[in-house]
Structure 1
Amino acid sequence: MQQSVKVIILLTESLSLFEYGCATELFALPRDEFPVWYTTETVSLTDTHYAGLSGESLMCRRVSALPPCDLLVVPSFRASVVDVPDIYLRELQQHHARGGRTISFCSGSFLLAAAGLLDNRVATTHWRYASALKAQFPYIQFRDDILYHYDGQVGCSAGSAAGIDLGIEVIRCDFGHEAANNVARRLVLPAHRSGGQSQFVAKPVSAGNTSLSKSLEWAVRNLSHTLTISDIAAKANMTRRTFDRQFKRSFRMTPGMWLTQRKLEMARQLLESTQLPVETVAMRAGFENAASLRISFKKHISVSPGTYRMQFGRYPAAEQHAAASVDTNSALSG
Structure 2
Amino acid sequence: MQTVAVLALNGVVPFDLGIACDIFSRVRTVDGVEAYRVLVCGESSRIRAGHFGIHTPWRLDAMTDADILIVPGVEDVNMVVSSAVKKALQLASGQGALVASICTGAFILASTGLLDGKRATTHWAVVDEFAKRFPAVTVDPDVLFVDEGNVVTSAGSSAGLDMCFHLIGRFHGQAVASHAARLAVAPLVRDGGQAQFIQQAALPASSSLAPLLEWMLANLEQPIDVTSLAKRASMTPRTFARRFRDQTGATPIQWLLKSRVRRAQELLETTLASVDQVSAAVGFDSPVTFRARFRSVVGLTPSSYRRRFSTALPSAKAE
**Residues 120 and 152 in structure 2, CA contact (< 8 A), matched pair in contact too:** yes
1:66 is aligned, of 62, 86, 102, to 62
In structure 2, the CA distance between the partners of 1:32 and 1:95, relative to structure 1 (3 Å rule), is closer
Query: In the TM superposition, what is the alpha-carbon distance from 1:301 to its structure 2 partner?
Result: 3.9
**Residues 28 and 176 in structure 2, CA contact (< 8 A), matched pair in contact too:** no
Q: Give the residue type in structure 2 aligned to 1:223.
A: L
Moved more, 173-182 or 162-171: 173-182
Match of 2:100 in 1: 103
Q: Which whole-Å CA distance do the structure 2 matches of 1:125 and 1:60 have between them?
A: 25
Q: Which whole-Å CA distance do the structure 2 matches of 1:65 and 1:17 have between them?
A: 22
2:225 is aligned, of 225, 228, 234, to 228
Deviations 1:41-69 (A, max 9, x none): 21202x22223443x22122352523412
Greater relative CO, 1 or 2 (CA 8 Å, sep 6+): 2
Match of 1:256 in 2: 253
The TM-score normalised by the length of structure 2 is 0.78
Match of 1:6 in 2: 3
Deviations 1:246-301 (A, max 9, x none): 76676565433332222111222234345655444322221121332244345544
Q: Which whole-Å CA distance do the structure 2 matches of 1:250 and 1:115 have between them?
A: 37
Q: For 1:288, what is the secondary structure of its paired residue?
A: coil
Moved more, 237-246 or 149-158: 237-246
Q: For 2:285, what is the secondary structure of its paired residue?
A: coil
Matching of residue 17 in structure 1 with residue 46 in structure 2: no
**Residues 3 and 37 in structure 2, CA contact (< 8 A), matched pair in contact too:** yes
**Residues 244 and 254 in structure 1, CA contact (< 8 A), matched pair in contact too:** yes
**Residues 66 and 97 in structure 2, CA contact (< 8 A), matched pair in contact too:** yes
Matching of residue 89 in structure 1 with residue 86 in structure 2: yes
Gaps of 5+ in 2: 194-207
Q: Give the residue type in structure 2 aligned to 1:182.
A: H
Q: Give the residue type in structure 1 aligned to 2:35.
A: W
Q: For 2:15, what is the secondary structure of its paired residue?
A: helix
2:110 is aligned, of 95, 106, 113, to 113
Match of 1:137 in 2: 134
Q: For 1:94, what is the secondary structure of its paired residue?
A: helix
In structure 2, the CA distance between the partners of 1:131 and 1:219, relative to structure 1 (3 Å rule), is closer
In structure 2, the CA distance between the partners of 1:149 and 1:305, relative to structure 1 (3 Å rule), is farther
**Residues 225 and 283 in structure 1, CA contact (< 8 A), matched pair in contact too:** no
Match of 1:76 in 2: 73
Q: Which whole-Å CA distance do the structure 2 matches of 1:97 and 1:179 have between them?
A: 28
Q: Which whole-Å CA distance do the structure 2 matches of 1:101 and 1:75 have between them?
A: 14
**Residues 173 and 312 in structure 1, CA contact (< 8 A), matched pair in contact too:** no
**Residues 11 and 76 in structure 1, CA contact (< 8 A), matched pair in contact too:** no
Q: Give the residue type in structure 1 aligned to 2:59.
A: V
In structure 2, the CA distance between the partners of 1:128 and 1:247, relative to structure 1 (3 Å rule), is closer
Q: For 1:106, what is the secondary structure of its paired residue?
A: coil
Q: Give the residue type in structure 2 aligned to 1:124.
A: T
In structure 2, the CA distance between the partners of 1:245 and 1:126, relative to structure 1 (3 Å rule), is closer
Moved more, 36-45 or 144-153: 144-153
Gaps of 5+ in 1: 197-210, 327-334
Match of 1:40 in 2: 38
Query: In the TM superposition, what is the alpha-carbon distance from 1:35 to its structure 2 partner?
Result: 2.2
Q: Which whole-Å CA distance do the structure 2 matches of 1:121 and 1:316 have between them?
A: 39
The TM-score normalised by the length of structure 1 is 0.75
Structural mapping, 1:254-333, within 5 Å: 254-274=251-271, 277-297=274-294, 299-309=296-306, 311-314=308-311
Query: In the TM superposition, what is the alpha-carbon distance from 1:180 to its structure 2 partner?
Result: 1.3
**Residues 123 and 156 in structure 1, CA contact (< 8 A), matched pair in contact too:** yes
Q: Which whole-Å CA distance do the structure 2 matches of 1:314 and 1:117 have between them?
A: 35
Q: Which whole-Å CA distance do the structure 1 matches of 2:112 and 2:303 have between them?
A: 35
Query: In the TM superposition, what is the alpha-carbon distance from 1:159 to its structure 2 partner?
Result: 1.1
Query: In the TM superposition, what is the alpha-carbon distance from 1:162 to its structure 2 partner?
Result: 0.3
Q: Which whole-Å CA distance do the structure 2 matches of 1:301 and 1:223 have between them?
A: 18
Q: Which whole-Å CA distance do the structure 2 matches of 1:244 and 1:167 have between them?
A: 30
**Residues 8 and 73 in structure 1, CA contact (< 8 A), matched pair in contact too:** yes
In structure 2, the CA distance between the partners of 1:52 and 1:116, relative to structure 1 (3 Å rule), is closer
